[in-house]
Structure 1
Amino acid sequence: MYTEFEQINKASIMINSLCIFKNLKDDSVLLKYKTLLKYLNSKDISVEEGIELYTDFIYELLNKADGKSLKKYIIDMIFLDNNPFTKIIDEQNSCDKLFNQVHYELNALQYISSIESSAIKDAIIIKGNVKEFEIGIVKSLMDFDSDLECNISSKAIDKLKVNILNCDNWGDALESIVEFYKQYGTGIFGEYRAFVWEHEDGAPYLRGIESPDPVRLENLVGYEYQKEIIIDNTKQFLNGYQANNMLLYGSRGTGKSSTVKAIINEYYDDGLRLIEVDKNKLCDFTKIIRILKSKNLKFIIFVDDLVFEEGEASYSALKTILEGGVENRSNNILIYATTNRKHLVKETFSERSGDDVHANDTIEEKLSLADRFGMTVSFYSPDQKEFLKIIDGVAEARGIKVEKEYLHAEALKWVRWYNARSPRTAIQFINWLEGTLKQ
């Protein structure tokens, strides 16, 4: 049995022993935790310094862990980490020596996070030679081994985290972790299904979306033929066959973007992920490729509302991507883009009457960009019959029960007063109707 002081000393040493999960040692929470443990191992400590280091650690934990306990925070960090272990899984290799080290470090991380708040407070009280009134202050310090809130989730990763939390030895969960990585991906790709390519302080990175649009294919009424084409192409891609980049063209509000998002939700468990890239950041495509190409997952690069102005650098970047440069080729990436314009590059009358000797060639070059997508799927505005069918489908899905004649009459009024016929307009109308009926 270790005394409380020996537990604190051992935990401090174990943090230093991390090799595979070395990145965790540089995490701001673990750094402050280690500083606190190291200070408590000193022969003589100041109660003021002990309290300050303890509260610095708690503050950082609250900032980064959103009310989770230290144990849960460390488990989250384990799954977000990229390290030699996750690299081997991505490459579909195996190494018993490395796996043995991971087994040890999982148990070490469990031990590091298992010290109770009360043990650290006792160490401050005993080693700090506190005065009577200071004892109450130390004991009133916030604990870090309990959650402020506990959200129950059905996500596979959250179920696995709960199982690890309840393991007597975290190392025993290694096999389950490996299986999860193989199916859902490592690092942030196992944690999130959708990402946005961002720039922050000049540095590009992938930001995981905490709550992506939950839309499902079954929620999208109409456009069955278009959805079938996109689904078939996506299935070919997931099954390892050749598939095409796709351009979804059509009127606003017809469900182009929603269809792409629904595809991701439908095939997430099959290893499909979404990376949304603004057209102005398409010049970063090579950087994105380098991140994704080694992952044992399939990725759809999603570019929404695609249209180019004259001379945009991203136009040339997309053209190169679609033509397939040497480094841009990767069999685990497709591009799905949406646009409201038949021609992706804005064309002016002055170009047709300008002094370019080969003006027609220039114009044709601009108009040919859409042709470089393997497939173009058209989403046209529905006629009145199709629109009312969409209205019926959305109303049924919402459980709204009104006379069909009234429903249709009000829907057509809505179209005349507000927007043109589209699935988006149908949803907006049903939102209004549902609120009106509940008043």
Structure 2
Amino acid sequence: MSAGQSDQGDPVARIAAALERLAPPAPREVDWRNSPAYLWDGVNARELPEIVAPALENLRGIERQKAQVRDNIARLAWGHATHDMLLWGSRGMGKSALLRAATRAVQDDAPMALALVQVAPGALKSLPDLFHRLSEVRRQFLIFIDDLGFAEDDTVGPQRLRSWLEGGIEARPANARLAVTSNRRAILARQAGEQDSGSDDNPLNRRDAVDDKLALADRFGLSVGFHPCSKDQYLDIVRAYAAPLGLSYTNEQALEWAMQRGQRSGRSAWQFVVELAGRAGKAI
């Protein structure tokens, strides 16, 4: 090698190093036994020290839903027969908050029996890998998929979900159940014309298309609906949030706040209380 010429090293070693840099990182070792919750990103899981959720008793206007969801999660924690759950319906009515709050309440009675695993957006395809890892752990798991929806032309996603729920080759393990929230009961988007009968151009009966989409929701053993709250329910939710903070307001103010946001819901009630607390110079 002439003077001044740099030594590039072994070409094979350089190629191997470049390929190693391009390869995805190896899965990180996770202790699946000791944390109350985890976030699955499609490759690795991140341990979370706590489940951030309101106290279960502070969720108002959904008493029936609270009882159903908590009871089902408690069964899972104790290893009893348990349903996969679909929580569907009106936005802002506490679907995801209820799942987190109910899980935390069950953990108060059985701290290490159950863990919540939330699947990050975009990580749905990786669920078989997550199932495999959880199947090797002696613990119960609630796998939480928030705000699930499929595009109108997506046929693969719904098929895989059916398989996961009903014992296909990639089915979720016996020590885990799925908990899904969606604004639609059918989960999939529906077109207005689906209620019409078939035509010469489209021999597939539209009613069959609707039934097929609803059949996906029917795979969940427990389907819990959430509906817009009444005026009295909304005001009750506001009182439940505001009273512990010593905040004063009028019902007219609370209702005006909801009207400005176009809905009476648990979310708008909480946002109103946050506004009250901010005006009063209080932290929440």
The answer to whether the 8 A contact 1:281-1:314 is kept is no
Name the SS of the counterpart of 2:32 in structure 1: helix
Among residues 240, 260, 269, which one is paired with 2:79 in the alignment?
240
Once residues 254 and 76 of structure 2 are traced to their aligned partners in structure 1, the CA distance between those partners, rounded to angstroms, is 39
**Unmatched 5+ stretches in structure 1:** 1-80, 83-186
Give the Å deviation of 1:326. Answer: 4.1
Distance 1:335 1:413, change over 3 A: same
Among residues 35, 56, 59, which one is paired with 1:192 in the alignment?
35
Once residues 210 and 233 of structure 2 are traced to their aligned partners in structure 1, the CA distance between those partners, rounded to angstroms, is 36
The answer to whether the 8 A contact 1:221-1:394 is kept is no
Distance 1:423 1:335, change over 3 A: same
Give the Å deviation of 1:411. Answer: 0.3
TM-score if structure 1 supplies the norm length? 0.52
1:281 match: 123
Distance 1:329 1:411, change over 3 A: closer
Give the Å deviation of 1:214. Answer: 4.0
Tell whether 2:75 aligns with 1:254. Answer: no
Among residues 204, 224, 227, which one is paired with 2:63 in the alignment?
224
2:106 match: 267
Distance 1:278 1:363, change over 3 A: farther
Q: Greater share of helix residues, 1 or 2? A: 1
Among residues 350, 357, 364, which one is paired with 2:203 in the alignment?
357
Tell whether 2:137 aligns with 1:295. Answer: yes
Distance 1:350 1:387, change over 3 A: closer
Name the SS of the counterpart of 1:368 in structure 2: helix
Once residues 52 and 279 of structure 2 are traced to their aligned partners in structure 1, the CA distance between those partners, rounded to angstroms, is 25
Give the Å deviation of 1:347. Answer: 2.2
Give the Å deviation of 1:193. Answer: 2.0
Distance 1:240 1:427, change over 3 A: same
Give the Å deviation of 1:379. Answer: 1.3
1:431 match: 274
Tell whether 2:244 aligns with 1:397. Answer: yes
Once residues 357 and 370 of structure 1 are traced to their aligned partners in structure 2, the CA distance between those partners, rounded to angstroms, is 25
Name the SS of the counterpart of 1:273 in structure 2: strand
Name the SS of the counterpart of 1:289 in structure 2: helix
1:333 match: 176
Identity %: 32
Q: How many equivalent residue pairs? A: 247
Give the Å deviation of 1:342. Answer: 2.6
Once residues 397 and 369 of structure 1 are traced to their aligned partners in structure 2, the CA distance between those partners, rounded to angstroms, is 42
Per-residue deviation, residues 343-377 of structure 1 (Å, max 9, x unmatched): 21112246655634233433321221111111111
Name the SS of the counterpart of 2:165 in structure 1: helix
- Give the residue type in structure 2 aligned to 1:344: I
Give the Å deviation of 1:278. Answer: 4.3
Looking at CA atoms only, which structure, 1 or 2, has the larger radius of gyration?
Answer: 1
The answer to whether the 8 A contact 2:73-2:103 is kept is no
The answer to whether the 8 A contact 2:149-2:189 is kept is yes
Q: Which has the higher contact order (CA 8 A, sep 6+)?
A: 2
Among residues 226, 230, 243, which one is paired with 1:383 in the alignment?
230
**Unmatched 5+ stretches in structure 2:** 1-27
Once residues 349 and 407 of structure 1 are traced to their aligned partners in structure 2, the CA distance between those partners, rounded to angstroms, is 41
Task: Give the superposed CA RMSD.
Answer: 2.3
Distance 1:205 1:415, change over 3 A: same
Distance 1:349 1:434, change over 3 A: closer
Once residues 79 and 140 of structure 2 are traced to their aligned partners in structure 1, the CA distance between those partners, rounded to angstroms, is 9
The answer to whether the 8 A contact 1:248-1:339 is kept is yes
The answer to whether the 8 A contact 1:395-1:430 is kept is yes
1:172 match: none
Per-residue deviation, residues 40-74 of structure 1 (Å, max 9, x unmatched): xxxxxxxxxxxxxxxxxxxxxxxxxxxxxxxxxxx
More displaced 10-residue stretch of structure 1: 354-363 or 340-349: 354-363
Once residues 196 and 399 of structure 1 are traced to their aligned partners in structure 2, the CA distance between those partners, rounded to angstroms, is 35
Once residues 188 and 398 of structure 1 are traced to their aligned partners in structure 2, the CA distance between those partners, rounded to angstroms, is 38
Once residues 260 and 150 of structure 2 are traced to their aligned partners in structure 1, the CA distance between those partners, rounded to angstroms, is 32
1:316 match: 159
1:105 match: none
Once residues 304 and 260 of structure 1 are traced to their aligned partners in structure 2, the CA distance between those partners, rounded to angstroms, is 10
